[in-house]
Structure 1
Amino acid sequence: MSKLLYSATMSLDGFIAGPGGDMSWLTPYLGPDPFADDLAGRIGSLLVGRRTYGGDDPHRGTEGEGQAFGGGWSGPQVVLTHHAPAEPVPGVVFAGDLGTAVATAKEAAGGKYVNVLGADVARQCLEAGVLDEILVFVAPVLLGDGVRLFDRPGGAPVHLERLGVTQAPSAAHLWWRVPTPG
């Protein structure tokens, strides 16, 4: 059965995007990473928030612009949104509610990971009890402001179980399991 994995590159001070969703800060940290390359082969589908889907691209100006992970992955994408485009987008399903989006992404993943992209959709998955794992690539930079990895004002603590810690030239990898609610 497919698991939901929230993965993101985060600054050391906890931001996955700069102010206004700016992703240009990430460009210097997109170098070769065998760990990330291996992970891409274990992803069966993406569950993407609308702002992430239509947002800034850290691969802007490269041949990977507009492609998932700069062209390092291809496959089905499910976008959680209340405002689907009028015209269909090949390889992309637009879902209006979290339950439908998760079910569609899991089916499309074919037993591989559903990679969750976007802080708000990840928060919704966590609060709904459907998020299984969190993988954070910690980049050696302090952004000072922007979009947090998780923003849950007033939220209760969630105690995670460590699955692994590794290091690459451009980031440390922290992998956690989200305990089953209850």
Structure 2
Amino acid sequence: MTKVMTGATMSLDGYIADASHGGFEYLFQWYGNGKVETPTANPDMTLRTSAASARHLRELNERTGALVVGRRLFDMTGGWGGRHPMDVPVVVVTHSVPEGWERENDSFVFVSDGIESAIGRAKAIAGDKHVGVNGGTIAAQVIQAGLLDEVHVDLVPVLLGAGIPLFADLKIAPVQLEGPTSVVEGDGVTHLAYRVRTPD
């Protein structure tokens, strides 16, 4: 069965970016602090992590068949240069198709009729693999719609003091999680996974 998962690198005080949408030089240090290389779909981006983190990333990539992201993340990354580093199709939740892009191609599908539709489209693309959800606002929409199965956190030892939480503007808190169902100790990061508890 296809699972819908969200994940992010997070500071110890709970932020996935600082208040100015930055702070990534601290959050993402673990992507380059090791000796094991993990290539991506972007030829200019090779990750160099600890062996444990490389194994974790490889297994995550193998399980993921599609991603769902918001328009802001798509714009911030410039559409990842035409292909997401995980080398899977990306469903973009947006009000309109960006100029110069087709509504649907091998890399991106632009969905403008809501989060439920976007998740449904991503599940169809993923087949028997899982769907990943990226971005705090989109993650909040997915969990509020009752469509999220797992939360993955790459916890790094830094305090940002303020910023953007993983579940930005969550309107149904508290939400209880079960686990951790997985704990992987990397260098400068702990990879955690939790199951979203189904309401009784």
Query: TM-score scaled to structure 1, two decimals?
Result: 0.85
Match status 1:95 vs 2:108: no
Match status 1:7 vs 2:7: yes
Whether the 8 Å CA contact 2:137–2:169 is kept in 1: the answer is no
Matched pairs, number: 173
Q: Residue 192 of structure 2 is aligned with which of 147, 150, 174?
A: 174
Unmatched 5+ residue regions in structure 2? 33-48
Aligned equivalents of 2:94, 2:185: Cα separation in 1: 35
Aligned equivalents of 2:121, 2:178: Cα separation in 1: 27
Q: Show the counterpart of 1:143.
A: 160
Aligned equivalents of 1:46, 1:107: Cα separation in 2: 11
Letter in 2 for 1:132: D
Q: Show the counterpart of 1:116.
A: 133
TM-superposed CA distance for 1:130, in Å, is 0.3
**CA-to-partner distance for each residue in 1:159-182, whole Å, 9 max, x for gaps?**
111112221112111110112244
TM-superposed CA distance for 1:67, in Å, is 5.2
Greater shift in the superposed pair: 33-42 or 107-116: 33-42
Aligned equivalents of 1:29, 1:141: Cα separation in 2: 12
TM-superposed CA distance for 1:85, in Å, is 1.1
Q: Which has the larger radius of gyration?
A: 2
Whether the 8 Å CA contact 2:140–2:170 is kept in 1: the answer is no
Unmatched 5+ residue regions in structure 1? 58-63
Q: Residue 74 of structure 1 is aligned with which of 84, 87, 105?
A: 87
Of all paired residues, the percent bearing the same amino acid is 39
Greater shift in the superposed pair: 12-21 or 122-131: 12-21
Change in Cα spacing, 1:94 to 1:137, as seen in structure 2 (3 Å) is: same
Query: TM-score scaled to structure 2, two decimals?
Result: 0.78
Letter in 2 for 1:116: V
CA RMSD of aligned residues (A): 2.1
Change in Cα spacing, 1:67 to 1:145, as seen in structure 2 (3 Å) is: farther
1:24-103 pair list within 5 angstroms:
24-31=25-32, 32=49, 33=53, 34-55=55-76, 68=84, 71=85, 73-89=86-102, 90=105, 91-96=107-112, 97-103=114-120
Whether the 8 Å CA contact 1:21–1:56 is kept in 2: the answer is no
Letter in 1 for 2:74: Y
